A and B are shown apart, each in its own frame.
Chain A
Amino acid sequence: MITAGIDVGSQSTGVVIQKDGQILSFALCLTGIDPRKRAKESLKEALEKASLSPEKLDCRIATGYSRHQVEADRTVSEISAQAKGAAFLFPKARGLIDIGGQDTKVVLLSSGGKVVDFLMNDKCAAGTGRFLELMAQVLEISLTDFGKLVAQAQREVELSSTCAVFAQSELVGLIAQGKKKEDLSRAVCQAVVDQVANMVERIGLVPPVVFTGGVAKNQGVASLLEKRLGFSLLIPPEPQITAALGASLVL
């Protein structure tokens, strides 16, 4: 059976085409303001990559923030989709951390890869990709710089606010005090890490744990998170398509 998983996230849209447990192709792009159109285009792109015509698809399963807005045969929540995807890539995984643009999810998995329990960030928490984007703007750096800068940080600086609005002004204040970009970058990543680690501890994840979502590409966050949790994380080669992959596998 050939299925397509379509993950329409707040930031990125991913499509995975799968046949009997084999990934045939995938596509990834920014969601932008028209999720419906973007999903269609990505599906087309993925089908072309797999040299398939749309009729060959047995089922299209949508997941992600805008899953109800796109053309699909059924929907599945991001939680189940991420879990499925993670368990497919790492069958031994017992936990999952997904940090996307809008939400953060922490999922406890059974030995069979089923969802046992999950938590999502509450509204005020800073532990999301959007927070990192806002702070990167203030610091005038790009998202991909975080890894390098964090590695060069020397002095301990801490953000006292976890609210994005206050953190932003606090950061401006710290810049004015002449604090270094490297140290501030680490403080920003650490703020996210602390929020996420609280959720991980609240739900009681034990390794092996998979780390997915766009923020898994942020090496600053990844390394600090590993340090804080005390174990290393499994990061898929393309962490932004795990949900789409999982969705393609739900049948």
Chain B
Amino acid sequence: MKVGYFCGYLPPELIRSAGGEPVLLEPEGKRVKLGEKYFPTPFCPFSKVFLDNLLSGSWEKVGTLLFTRSCDASRRLYETVSSLPGGESSFLLDLPHEVGPLAWNYFAHQLKKLAHFLLDRTGKSEKAMLSDLEQEVKSSLIIRRKLTEEYQAGRLPGAVFLGKEGGSPPDFPRVVRGGLPLFLIASHLWVRDLIGLLEKKSILVFEDTPLGSRRWLLRENTTFLLPPEEDPFLSLSRLYLEWKAPCPRGPWRERLAFIQEMTRKLGVRGVVYFYPKFCDFSLYELKIVRDELSLPVLSLEYDTLPNLAQWETRLEAFLEVLTP
């Protein structure tokens, strides 16, 4: 059973151990024609493009769709999808905003609910799922630690993390060419196009995106070896809420600390902030990044279509400032 998802807080470990095949959904940017009627003009372009892809049959083989309560748009997207024909097979994972034991327990409970939702559909037994899950979490941690090290050492630039398959980690290490190192903070749309553009300008891109590294990397201060919890759901919950690289939705202190740490370790010369118009979290984060980071920031905005020509012009101007 193919299980589609896009939010980095949806654990492929859980999908796999419940007998599903995780598919990371990466909508292609086409002219939004089927999706737009559901949402007003000032609304998250990702949601529109996502619906467009869904309705035009890009993911026909993906029967089950998972969403999270990450922002207002993603909630509405879930509500819209679940009201369409076939909507019963979509699920909203309630993702807490808070950190700390209360939130971990709450999220563990929600993950359990998701597991049951999936088991009902795959027919796998709960017992088998539990033992698989423990294994999944263990090996996931090992891979993540390794990836984090490699990334911080500057050996995983470019689009290596971006993969269509939900579960598989990128290959590493790679032979890395030189170039001007920049940190790219982006959302779900047109990440590949932009990385391509940056690389064309011989930039060494270190991406921080929900399709790529942010799904894999761990925070700096997570010094642990094995899941410390008895309950694999609690381990999984902590892995995602406490250890995984945070998203712009916060918690912002941790998020800012993460960005500061990464940009310092990677020794980047500037930040490219590539964000969707009408995405509240990005809009707020952009302000905080500008205020708190002592690096030059280039902000590039988009709506429902890529605008490579315009981005290129702005990028060139930015590069001229960086390398006089």
Which A residues lie at the B interface, using CB under 8 A? 122, 124-125, 158-162, 170, 173-174, 177, 194, 197-198, 201-202, 228
Contact = CB atoms under 8 A, between A and B. Distances in A.
Contact of A122 (B37, B41, B303, B305): B41
B40 A122 contact: yes
Interface of B: 31, 33, 36-37, 40-42, 302-307, 309-310, 313
A173 B314 CA distance: 13
Contacts of B42: 124
Main secondary structure of the interface of B (DSSP, over half): loop
A158 B308 CA distance: 12
A178 to B, nearest CB: 12
Given A160-B303, A160-B305, A162-B303, A173 B40 contact: no
A198 B37 contact: yes
A159 B310 CA distance: 12
A158 B309 contact: no
B37 A158 contact: no
Nearest to A163: B303
27 contacts: A122-B40, A124-B41, A124-B42, A125-B41, A158-B31, A160-B302, A160-B303, A160-B305, A160-B307, A161-B303, A161-B307, A162-B41, A170-B307, A170-B310, A173-B309, A173-B310, A173-B313, A177-B309, A194-B31, A194-B33, A194-B36, A197-B33, A198-B36, A201-B36, A201-B37, A202-B37, A228-B33
A202 B41 CA distance: 12
B312 to A, nearest CB: 10
Contacts of B310: 160, 170, 173
A41 to B, nearest CB: 38
A46 B310 CA distance: 51
A50 to B, nearest CB: 44
